[in-house]
A and B are shown apart, each in its own frame.
Chain A
Amino acid sequence: MSKQINVALIGNPNTGKTSVFNQLTGLKQKVGNYPGITVEKKEGVCKLPRGVKAHILDLPGTYSLNTTSLDESVAVELLLNKNDKDHPDVAVVISDVENLKRNLLLFTQIKDLRIPAILVINMADRMTRTGISLDIPLLEEKLDTKIALVSTRKGTGIDRLKELISEYKTLSRNPNVDTTVIEPSYFERLKETFPNQDLYKLWLVITQDVNFMPIEKMLIKDSSSFTTKSKSELKRLQQKETILRYQFINGILKETYKIDIAAAKGFRASLDKILTHKIFGYLIFFVILLSIFQAIYDWSGYPQAIIETFFASASEWVKNTLPPGVFTNLIAEGVLSGIGGIVVFVPQIAFLFLFISLLEETGYMSRVVFLMDKLMRPFGLSGKSVVPLISGTACAIPAVMATRTIENWKERLITILVTPFTTCSARLPVYLIIIALVIPKGRFLGLNYQGLTLMLLYLIGFGAAILAAMVLNRILKIKSRSFFVVEMPNYKLPLFKNVVFTVWEKTKSFVVGAGKIILAIAIILWFLGSNGISDNFKNAEEIVEKRIASEGLSDFNRSNIESGLVAYNEALRDSVQNEVYRIDAAAIADSLQQRKEALFETAKNQEISSFKLENSYMGYMGKAIEPIVKPLGYDWKIGIAVLTSFAAREVFVGTLATIYSVGSDEENTDTITQRMAAEVDPTTKKPIFNLASGISLLLFYAFAMQCMSTLAVVKRETNSWKWPTAQLVFMSTFAYLVALIAYQVLK
């Protein structure tokens, strides 16, 4: 009489599990290319050598035994329940040769349940095309199992698989990973409570409902000896288990799994060869970055002009429509100026995310990760650090969280500490406004200077991150082994919907997330700048008028009026010559006089508002910190903006927008950039925003740690205040010193 054994086919979605099932059983079943095609239990019979019959179960696809859905839990319950009539005598774990690392996570978990397990490496026909080579005997030895290299497409390896199934009794039942090391004391208590039970099985039962639905458990009268405080603690232990498994898998794959891109064939392989080439790869990446930054500048001009005009008109409309008073001023000068100062940068931010999203969608970003691994390793980072570093161009917060994929603690810690150096979107408005002020608009070989400066700042941020990583790699005495395995997705055309969604989400989160803080700070700043207790503030108009009467206007305003009149005179004479107007010389003189008076009035009002601001609450605060920022080339107004932007960098622009609009009569016609460009140092009579102070500011923002939320996330990820504190102190001191040197050299 022939024996019948239970065989369970289990594996990640899209590994060709159903195809293996078809080839073993001869049953025809639809094979799809999307996850979760086998949503219910499928069964069939297979004849094996030596008269053995196998009852084959095709279980739903699952990534691990930590289930997250109902169909995944079917597979886990069957593996855990020995009394189930379908409980397998042998598990056949199907994996895909191109995604072996991810697939082995599930294999090690099944092996740790002490169920005899065979590893099937499917899609072997793709090995030549992708340049993959495997040391099967060594892999069998390391995983303590038997392996069948299968190609369901070509029908190879199935006989070997049948042979291995029939010899299942010779398979080892030893586990791959000792899970108890993730929390020895916890597992010790568990063992004391259930002395006769398998610890890993218990652990899976306990953690089963962490992710999904509770399964039926034995009631324990006193579970205090082994239960943890919360689900989040169990989840943390589960994450530690996953990291432990990947460390084990990485160690094995490093010795047994090789990808030789030079040996790969086909379109994808040819493209990979070029994009990951040790010279062309970097060159292409550099050209792509350069094109992105050029496009950001060249394409954003028109929408920005529209936004600027809109906010200027809105401010004017509010003043003309609402009843005059302090609240109307708050809306027109505080709220609208602060928000307008940020919204104006939306086009540039949207374009940046559009390009990043396109790079990710096409599959190019994974090639960048692979390419950069070689470059990163000498600095104590891995190729995977590139993902947080590139994500950091959006925001350091998700970027720091993205370091969780880095298994090696030292590499992860270094990546966390250096990621805030990369240029996040919050720095972008600061850079854009300073560049517009101090970098000329000319072009060199078709590349505009401003775009080049912006790209340089991104490279400086990236360079600072790399150098800081190198230093940390030498300083930090943490011993750990390092591996790098990355999945290369197929190239594909970007999905329009996905790209639009990403751009929308990222831009919205920037505007809404930052907008609330900026709005609140703009309101506070407007109040501090519009109120004061000193006599100078209260009698500002009288004092300034007296001064103008005795000493005249400031030199800057005088020369401004003169140049304004010259320009007006020329324009008027041109119009007369071209017969646009027909007026006599007396009328021209009269018109010039009226223009002069208007310009004088504007200059007088500007001096009054400047005097009031200087004597307001904000003026006093700014003056108090001026000795610290003066050596960097900043006045007290910039000092205030730097101080408030310690909450979040983007507040800098909103603050300046509020400061320069406070009490000014020109905000309706002048944009914030023009207003800032007109700022003059009262002692040197030179513009405040010149090349030296501009570069100093750019460098300060390139290096300073000015984001409270990032500090909080670093604290959470490192579970200590030590690292965020060190980060804040080091980055701020470094930024100050670099800005100081830059200003003192360039002034």
Chain B
Amino acid sequence: MGMLQPILVYITLAIAVGFIVRKFFLPKSLFVSKGAHKRKEKGCGQDDCGCH
């Protein structure tokens, strides 16, 4: 039971670091699937509008 709290802390930390790295340091294209791209084109039709 005593080990649970440190484990939770490390999991939370890993999620936080992962989020920051993904947000600021990795290119967005790595996370865009083909399906998502298709949906985007059907959306407003403008790739550089910043709305998606």
Known interface pairs A230-B47, A235-B45; A524-B9 also in contact (CB < 8 Å)? no
Measured between beta carbons, the chain A residues less than 8 angstroms from B6 are 325-327
B24 near A647: Cβ-Cβ < 8 Å: yes
Hey, which chain B residues are within 8 Å of A327, CB to CB? 4-6, 8-9, 12
Is A374 close to B, CB under 8 A?
Answer: no
Residues of B within 8 A of A210 (CB): 45
| Bound-state Cα–Cα, A524 to B9, Å | 10
Task: Report chain A residues within 8 Å CB of B19.
Answer: 516, 520
| 191-237 of chain A: CB within 8 A of chain B | 210-211, 230-232, 235-236
Answer whether residue A527 sits at the interface, using C-beta atoms and an 8 A cutoff: yes
B23 at the interface (CB under 8 A from A): yes
The residue of chain B having its C-beta at the shortest distance from the C-beta of A519 within the complex is B16
A713 to B50 Cα, complex, angstroms: 9
A397 interface residue (CB < 8 Å to B): yes
Q: Number of contact residues on B: which range applies? A: 20 to 34
Closest to A233 in B: B47
Give chain A residues whose Cβ lies under 8 Å from the Cβ of B36: none
Q: Assess the B47–A235 pair: CB atoms within 8 A.
A: yes
- Assess A326 versus B23: contact at CB under 8 Å? Given A210-B45, A232-B46, A235-B47: no
Question: In the bound complex, what is the Cα–Cα distance between A669 and B46 (angstroms)?
Answer: 51
Task: Report how far A627 CA is from B40 CA in the complex, Å.
Answer: 48
Query: What is the predominant secondary structure among interface residues of chain B facing chain A?
Result: helix
Number of residues on chain A facing chain B (CB within 8 A): 28
Most buried by B among A519, A521, A527: A527
B residues 8-52 touching A (CB-CB < 8 Å): 8-9, 12-13, 15-17, 19-20, 23-24, 41, 45-48, 50
- Flag if A527 contacts B48 (CB, 8 Å): no
How far does the Cβ of B27 sit from chain A's closest Cβ, in whole Å? Answer: 11
Least CB separation from B1: chain A residue: A323
Contact with B along A320-332 (1 / 0, CB 8 A): 0001011110100
- A contact residues around B23 at 8 Å (CB): 517, 520
CB–CB A520/B45 < 8 A? no
Are A397 and B16 in contact, CB atoms less than 8 angstroms apart?
Answer: no
B9 partner, pick from A516, A519, A527, A716, beta carbons under 8 A: A527
- Of the candidates A210, A231, A521, A523, the one having the most CB atoms from chain B within 10 angstroms of its own CB is A523
- What residues on B are CB-neighbors of A517 within 8 Å? 20, 23
Contact B9 A232, beta carbon cutoff 8 Å: no
Q: From A330, which residue of chain B is reached at the shortest CB distance? A: B9
Alpha-carbon gap, A13 to B5, bound state (A): 64
Q: Given A330-B9, A713-B50, are A524 and B45 also a contact pair (CB < 8 Å)?
A: no
A713 closest partner in B (C-beta): B50
In the bound complex, how far is the Cα of B41 from the Cα of A520, in angstroms?
A: 31
Choose among B5, B20, B45 the residue that contacts A326 (Cβ–Cβ < 8 A): B5
Q: Across the interface, do B13 and A523 meet the contact criterion of CB distance under 8 Å?
A: yes
Does A138 touch B at the CB level, under 8 Å? Answer: no
Q: Given A211-B45, A232-B46, does the pair A524, B20 have CB atoms closer than 8 Å? A: yes
CB distance from A587 to the nearest CB of B (A): 43
Interface residues of A in 235-255 (CB under 8 A from B): 235-236
- Which residue of B9, B24, B41, B45 is within 8 Å of A708 (Cβ)? B24
A708 vs B2: C-alpha distance when bound (angstroms): 40
A524: B residues at CB distance < 8 A: 13, 16-17, 20
| A530 nearest CB neighbor, chain B only | B9
Q: Tell me the smallest distance from the CB of B22 to a CB of chain A, in Å.
A: 10
The 6 tightest CB contacts between A and B, nearest first, are A325-B5, A232-B47, A327-B5, A523-B16, A520-B16, A327-B8
13 A-B residue pairs with CB within 8 Å: A230-B47, A232-B45, A323-B5, A325-B5, A327-B5, A327-B12, A401-B50, A516-B19, A517-B23, A520-B15, A520-B19, A523-B12, A527-B13
